Amino acid sequence: MTVQLTVAQALVRFLEQQHVERDGDRHRFFAGCFGIFGHGNVAGIGEALLEATERDGGLAYHQARNEQAMVHTAVGYARMKDRLQTFACTSSIGPGATNMVTGAALATINRIPVLLLPGDVFATRVANPVLQELEYEASLDVSVNDAFRPVSRYWDRINRAEQLPSALLAAMRVLTDPAETGAVTLALPQDVQAEAYDWPEELFAPRTWRIGRPVPEPAALSRAAELIRSARRPLIVSGGGVVYSDASQALDHFASATGIPVAETQAGKGSLPYDHPHAVGAIGATGTTVADQLAEQADVVIGVGTRYSDFTTASRTVFAADGVRFVNLNIAAFDAYKLSALPLVADAREGLRALESAVGDYTVDPAYRDETARLAREWDGIVQETYDRRYEPLPSQAEVIGVVNTSSRPQDVVVCAAGSMPGDLHKLWRTRDRKGYHVEYGYSCMGYEIAGGLGVKLAALDSGEDREIYVLVGDGSYLMMSSELVTAVAEGVKLIVVLVQNHGFQSIGALSESLGSQRFGTAYRYRTESGFDGDRLPVDLAANAASLGADVIAVGTIGELSDALDKARASSRTTVIHIETDPMVPAPDSPAWWDVPVAEVATVDSTREARAEYDKHKQRQRHHLEPSARERDET
């Protein structure tokens, strides 16, 4: 039996029938489709989505304001759903499509599933070049959508209707595979979208993609357990994989049974509550003094679900002990093998359970246990002092974080992505719920905050969860992309946005200063004859937010901020709270380094001094090349 439908209609019908199942819980994979229409998709996918509105269980359409932003929203949603559900995103051809490339990179780097459906130029080429077509003289087979290839985990162009079924099945395999997932791009030539074809009926049968929990290979497990049992100062580094695998409980058990302290990466923050007896907080370049001190002396590091970014390893300086060895438990072999580790390629939850029984009665020395608990208490005291300090006349950013944290409930979610706040949040935010901390720090993309926050809230609503979403956004990120405030207003989805005005890129300003480049080009000021060093600009972001339809409260002090947060919580509408902070008050410093190369020759004295300092740090950088026990045994 066949069904006659256009390519776009068939695609939408197929998406409606895809389900995932993990741990016995089965649900639809696509929550809907975000889209912005143009000639490249309006009459193809657009028409198919219109038909879907007439159908029971038809794919729901959501309008966005910016194509990049709609991918962020899909990512925020999928991350909140532990990658078990996401959105499709449809765009026109040309600029609508390339606007999504940044979103695709963000999704792939963070290993979050999103399905991107950019329109493409005519497959028939009869009337080319179509409006917005890139003409690449060396090959008419190329369009701007080829730019998605390196940022997609699966990429295809549907030039003939017959290609659609195999492309859809390949797309679903990648989207639902935790080791492979990321952005999947199916480029859809605008003529092909509208073409009719007789599809085999079974293409539209309900399909369930089962998400497994692979267990570690027994031999690898016993080698890893042997190494851990020999450790005197072991440390667990918990990454995003722990959260996505819902492995917090298994991690809690393993840490409690062995006494091994647990440090967290940005994506892994929240895998244990901040006050868990074995939690030592953030690790790496934005780490706590506790975690970084333990990392420096660790003899065995157990990385779980982490891809060891340079922020986590402090550019490979934080694991400083001679002979330090790594055991990496990761669903992706690529990550499991990093830092010459003993690899355990497995699901985080199953892997942790297996490790716990494989290490038997091993526990750390009571002195080590006491030392980590004491250091963690000391750090928490520093956090409290930082929350409580009152700077005048302008508050510090850390105080703002403190008030938002203390006035939020455990299940509420903080969302952030770029600027000086992610580092401060990593160190200072007291996470009490495994989904309570949502900082996009794989791509650290300015503009993710509001759009991503919208996705987080949509996910909470769809799961029937009562969570407030606190979006923390700097003035720079806000100026880059605040458009989805309008989408939040249109959808009647409530966000609490705390907009921190400090007149420019203060994170990069501080970085620039530390590298001897004197904050060049990082403040928002009028141009004078000597550069952008005039007065501050008369920008009124509070008025801007109000003009987009949000409720706005402008505050000046921490007390006023606290009142405004109460008001925002009581309201059912999206509220933007505008506060100015003093960018010159830093949060408690992390002892760790970050490798940002300084000019080797320069006329500027401050740069030359910074280079000398850089060279000193560079000498501490490690390669971690020592072969794993297995490789050594074989030689």
Instruction: CB nearer to ligand TPP: give 421 or 454.
Output: 421
Instruction: CB nearer to ligand TPP: give 464 or 597.
Output: 597
Q: Write phi, then psi, for 381 (nearest 5 degrees).
A: -65, -40
By DSSP bridging, strand 25-28 and strand 18-22 are antiparallel
State the binding partner of 347 from Mg ion, ligand TPP, none, CB within 5 to 8 A by kind. Answer: none
Least distance (Å) from Mg ion to the CB of residue 501?
A: 7
Instruction: CB nearer to ligand TPP: give 46 or 476.
Output: 476
Least distance (Å) from Mg ion to the CB of residue 400?
A: 12
CB-CB contact of 283 with 319 (8 Å): no
> Of 524, 502, 457, nearest to 484 (Cα)?
457
CB-CB contact of 575 with 555 (8 Å): no
Least distance (Å) from ligand TPP to the CB of residue 498?
A: 12
State the binding partner of 420 from ligand TPP, Mg ion, none, CB within 5 to 8 A by kind. Answer: ligand TPP
State the binding partner of 364 from Mg ion, ligand TPP, none, CB within 5 to 8 A by kind. Answer: none
CB-CB contact of 35 with 64 (8 Å): yes
Instruction: CB nearer to ligand TPP: give 251 or 548.
Output: 548
Beta-bridge mates of residue 344: 329
Least distance (Å) from ligand TPP to the CB of residue 364?
A: 38
What are the Cα distances from residue 285, in Å, to 295, 427, 447? Answer: 12, 10, 23
**How far, in Å, CA of 205 to CA of 52, rounded?**
16
Q: Is 566 helix (H, G, I), strand (E, B) or coil?
A: helix
State the binding partner of 444 from ligand TPP, Mg ion, none, CB within 5 to 8 A by kind. Answer: ligand TPP
Least distance (Å) from ligand TPP to the CB of residue 516?
A: 19
Least distance (Å) from ligand TPP to the CB of residue 458?
A: 23
By DSSP bridging, strand 86-91 and strand 30-35 are parallel
Least distance (Å) from ligand TPP to the CB of residue 591?
A: 21
State the binding partner of 350 from ligand TPP, Mg ion, none, CB within 5 to 8 A by kind. Answer: none
Binding site for ligand TPP (CB under 6 A): 418-421, 444-447, 474-477, 502, 505-508
Whether the link from the prior residue into 129 is cis, omega within 30° of 0, is yes
Least distance (Å) from Mg ion to the CB of residue 510?
A: 11
**H or E element at residue 264:** strand 262-264
**How far, in Å, CA of 451 to CA of 470, rounded?**
12
Beta-bridge mates of residue 523: 504
**How far, in Å, CA of 359 to CA of 368, rounded?**
18
Distance, CA of 615 to chain centre? 32
State the binding partner of 396 from Mg ion, ligand TPP, none, CB within 5 to 8 A by kind. Answer: none
CB-based closest residue to Mg ion:
474
Instruction: CB nearer to ligand TPP: give 362 or 391.
Output: 391
State the binding partner of 387 from Mg ion, ligand TPP, none, CB within 5 to 8 A by kind. Answer: none
Least distance (Å) from ligand TPP to the CB of residue 477?
A: 4
**How far, in Å, CA of 243 to CA of 456, rounded?**
15
Beta-bridge mates of residue 303: 237, 328
Instruction: CB nearer to Mg ion: give 73 or 502.
Output: 502
Least distance (Å) from ligand TPP to the CB of residue 505?
A: 3
State the binding partner of 446 from ligand TPP, Mg ion, none, CB within 5 to 8 A by kind. Answer: ligand TPP
In this structure, the number of other CB atoms found within 10 A of the CB of residue 296 comes to: 18
Least distance (Å) from Mg ion to the CB of residue 498?
A: 13
Name residues whose C-beta falls within 8 Å of residue 102's C-beta, 6 or more positions apart in sequence: 68, 71, 443, 445
Q: Is 53 helix (H, G, I), strand (E, B) or coil?
A: helix
CB-CB contact of 329 with 251 (8 Å): no
Binding site for Mg ion (CB under 5 A): 474-476, 502, 506
State the binding partner of 445 from Mg ion, ligand TPP, none, CB within 5 to 8 A by kind. Answer: ligand TPP
State the binding partner of 90 from ligand TPP, Mg ion, none, CB within 5 to 8 A by kind. Answer: none
Q: Is 345 helix (H, G, I), strand (E, B) or coil?
A: strand
CB-CB contact of 257 with 238 (8 Å): no
State the binding partner of 421 from ligand TPP, Mg ion, none, CB within 5 to 8 A by kind. Answer: ligand TPP
Instruction: CB nearer to ligand TPP: give 328 or 386.
Output: 386
Amino acid at 622: R
Instruction: CB nearer to ligand TPP: give 459 or 555.
Output: 555
**How far, in Å, CA of 523 to CA of 517, rounded?**
13
**How far, in Å, CA of 177 to CA of 333, rounded?**
13
Instruction: CB nearer to ligand TPP: give 189 or 476.
Output: 476
Q: Is 194 helix (H, G, I), strand (E, B) or coil?
A: helix
CA angle, 111 as apex, 106 and 117 as ends, to 5°? Answer: 60
State the binding partner of 507 from Mg ion, ligand TPP, none, CB within 5 to 8 A by kind. Answer: ligand TPP
State the binding partner of 288 from Mg ion, ligand TPP, none, CB within 5 to 8 A by kind. Answer: none
Least distance (Å) from Mg ion to the CB of residue 621?
A: 30
Instruction: CB nearer to Mg ion: give 115 or 394.
Output: 394
**How far, in Å, CA of 185 to CA of 286, rounded?**
34
Instruction: CB nearer to ligand TPP: give 325 or 578.
Output: 578
> Of 448, 458, 390, nearest to 419 (Cα)?
448
**How far, in Å, CA of 294 to CA of 236, rounded?**
10
Instruction: CB nearer to ligand TPP: give 287 or 583.
Output: 583
Instruction: CB nearer to ligand TPP: give 345 or 508.
Output: 508
Instruction: CB nearer to ligand TPP: give 596 or 612.
Output: 596
Least distance (Å) from ligand TPP to the CB of residue 474?
A: 2
CB-CB contact of 495 with 469 (8 Å): yes
Least distance (Å) from ligand TPP to the CB of residue 502?
A: 5
